Structure 1
Amino acid sequence: MPAPRNNALQEILSKRFRILLTGDPDGVPPWLADVAASDEPGLYLPDEAPWIVHGDLATLVGGIRALLMQALHPGSLTGVREHSRYKEEPLGRLSGTIRWLTMTTFASTAAVSGEADRVNTMHRRVKGTYQNSAGQKVAYRAADPELLRWVHIAFMDSFLRCHQLYSSRALPGGADAYIRLWAKSVIPLGLTEVPLSERDLLAELERFRPELVVNDATREVISFIRNPPLPKTSLPAYHFLFKAALASLPQEYQERIGLGHPSLRLMRPITRNLLGLIRLAIGPETPIEEAAIARLHRAGVMKDGKIICRPDSL
């Protein structure tokens, strides 16, 4: 059972934190009921790498890093600039991304399928043209496997690296387990050819390298990521997390982005302490994980807080 909150201040800070991430005025994730629903298991269990990584506050840094990486590809960048309201509703886009990540990690397989349908429907509307690194005009659709693959590996690499750098939680099975297991998350999106090991992931990143571009449009989006219209009380922590995300990127990406080279040696311990303070401030409760674990108990996968069988053996 989670430890009780220490005081009313912790309750207030927790609510504000969840309002910021979910956009819900009561601080209750709109997808909480979907995670709790049904008596079926999902894609992952509490002792598996994706659950561990995505339940950790290091994802706050990983999410920023993923957005920076995605902005370097002119196809994904154009999709964001032309088909999202990221300037008018930045928190809406954030909550949509968090919803997909949370549902895919913690919800039942049926709910994951429904969430994938929602994302696929949205992707079908996103299409147009962009100028590639060679200056040629290229037609694109958000559902194109190549663009989906770049978005997938940008998220995967970012959450993995930031967990390795900024989390104190052990990663079951290491990087290969996280990459192999998280590959299941994009199958409902129609993406089946993705990295299944760290070696594969590094090779894919290298393959995409010639396609990455930094131009005025890139700098505009990166500037927005660097200085989003968040509440003033949240900005100091966010600006530090942005620097932590930048520090975690390969040096070549940092040079392309052109915002300096924060010292990873300094950023790593400070970021770990900051994330620890955030956890202390908002409390130990994790409503999404608790709802998912309760569902796994109903599904017969867990009993008395322990995993007693794997979904494949049901």
Structure 2
Amino acid sequence: MSIDVLSPLRRRLRLTFSGQTDGVPDWELALEDGDDAGFFAPDSVTWRVHSDMTPIMGGIRALLTQALHPGVLAGVVDHSHYREDPLARLAGTIRWIFTVTYGDTAAARRASQHVRRVHEAVVGQYVDGRGIGRPYSANQPDLLEWVHLAFTDAFLGSYEYVRGPLPASDADAYVAEWATAAKLMGVPNPPTSFAALRERMNAYDDGARLSSGPRVDDVVGFLRNPPLDPLLVPGYRMLFAAAVDSMNDRYLDLLRLRRSSLGPLPLPVRPAAQATLAVVGRALGATGPSEAAARRRLARLRAL
């Protein structure tokens, strides 16, 4: 009788990502239902990127990038219980991303409308990078856009950091495809090429919309050492280091983060991250439940 040495890791990963240790969440099984193929095909770059293990690292990078906008950060700090229950927010984000990626078009729209309804209560005041107080709402187009830009940049950047650069046409395709998710969330005119993504993100660094400060430092400290199961801590720390290593110098300066090094010598973070994600992939399996459910729907619809 063989011993599954990865079983403890598998249970803890499932609890972290879905909130349960055994079985598949009902919302993932429901992705088998529906009447169309969804917004993205199995041969899309979106499926290629999102079905990989790299979005785990990408999620860390996205949260770090999002924290640079004081309006986005205020919404998280003032209206979420990320410190008391960080996994709940993570599970909600994963549910929305996978439903939009793998669900039929009706499920993707419902999931996005649900997030927008939750956002209606997320309002308040924040101080911008020039010290000016401003009102915010989580459904403001500029805040929604920054969240979308951060996700797109982080997921694509993490995939290329771990797996190697995509052809320019594939990078453009990913940005153009995932613009659909932005439109579902109410983002007007999202970028549809990699160059446009870079240009749009650079435009936010105008001295007011992106900033550092005590609130950013606090969130960075939390993301560096979140309250995870001890079995997951070594792998998480490696992926956090990889997320930092993959980011541009300007954002690292604002976040007050440095790439891992031993004195003047950089540490080999990339191969360590590749090994970490390989173990995670071995524990969770090659095909995730969301993708498997989508493939069953496509087979039923004869759309494969």
TM-score band, normalised by shorter chain: over 0.9
Instruction: Report how far residue 16 of structure 1 moved.
Output: 2.5
Cα separation, 1, equivalents of 2:278 and 2:61: 19
Cα distance in 2 for residues equivalent to 1:10 and 1:226: 25
Tell me: CA distance 1:132–1:254, structure 2 relative to 1, closer, same or farther (3 Å). Answer: same
Contact 2:9 2:231 in 1 (8 A): no
1:13 aligned onto 2:9: yes
Q: Distance in 1 between matches of 2:210 and 2:131?
A: 12
2:52 counterpart of 1:50: no
The TM-score with structure 1 as length reference comes to 0.89
Report if aligned partners of 2:31, 2:294 keep a CA contact under 8 Å in 1. yes
Question: Displacement of 1:277 after TM fit?
Answer: 2.1
Residues 131 and 171 (structure 1 numbering): CA distance in 2 closer, same or farther, change over 3 Å?
same
Whichever residue aligns with residue 181 of structure 1, its letter is: E
* Kept in 2: contact 1:34–1:111 (CA 8 A): no
1:9 alignment partner, SS class: coil
Q: Which amino acid aligns with 2:289?
A: P
Aligned twin of 1:176? 172
* Mapped partners of 2:168, 2:296: distance in 1: 22
Residues in 2 aligned to 1:235 and 1:11: alpha-carbon distance in whole angstroms: 17
Determine whether 1:188 maps to 2:188.
no
Q: Is the 8 A contact 1:35 1:106 kept in 2?
A: yes
Q: Partners of 1:233 and 1:58 in 2: how far apart?
A: 19
Identify which range, 31-40 or 118-127, moves more after superposition: 31-40
- Aligned match of 1:81: 77
Q: Comparing 265-274 with 252-261, which one deviates more in the overlay?
A: 265-274
Aligned in 2, Cα 1:297/1:170: closer, same or farther, shift over 3 Å? farther
Number of aligned residue pairs: give it: 297
2:288 aligned with 1:283: no
Is the deviation greater in 29-38 or in 183-192?
29-38
Three-state SS of the structure 1 residue aligned to 2:126 is: strand
Q: Structure 1 residues 146 and 227, CA, compared in 2 at 3 Å: closer, same or farther?
A: same
1:101-160 CA distances to partner (integer Å, 9 max, x unpaired)?
110101111101110111010111111110001100011111010000000000000000
Q: Mapping of 1:230-269 within 5 angstroms?
A: 230-262=228-260, 266-269=268-271
SS in 1 for 2:31: helix
- Change in 2 beyond 3 A, CA 1:193/1:216: same
Preserved CA contact (<8 Å) 2:53 2:277: yes
Asked whether the 8 Å contact 1:20–1:91 carries over to 2, the reply is yes
Q: Give distance in 1, aligned partners of 2:259 and 2:37.
A: 43
- TM-superposed deviation, 1:11: 4.4
Q: Which segment is superposed worse, 179-188 or 72-81?
A: 179-188
Over the aligned positions, Cα root-mean-square deviation in angstroms equals: 1.9
Secondary structure, aligned partner of 2:38? coil
Query: Which position in structure 1 is the counterpart of 2:136?
Result: 140
Contact 2:191 2:200 in 1 (8 A): yes
Q: Which amino acid aligns with 1:149?
A: E
Say which SS state the counterpart of residue 173 (structure 2) adopts: helix
* Residues 18 and 29, structure 1, Cα contact 8 Å, conserved in 2: no
Percent same amino acid among aligned pairs? 37
TM-superposed CA distance for 1:13, in Å, is 3.1
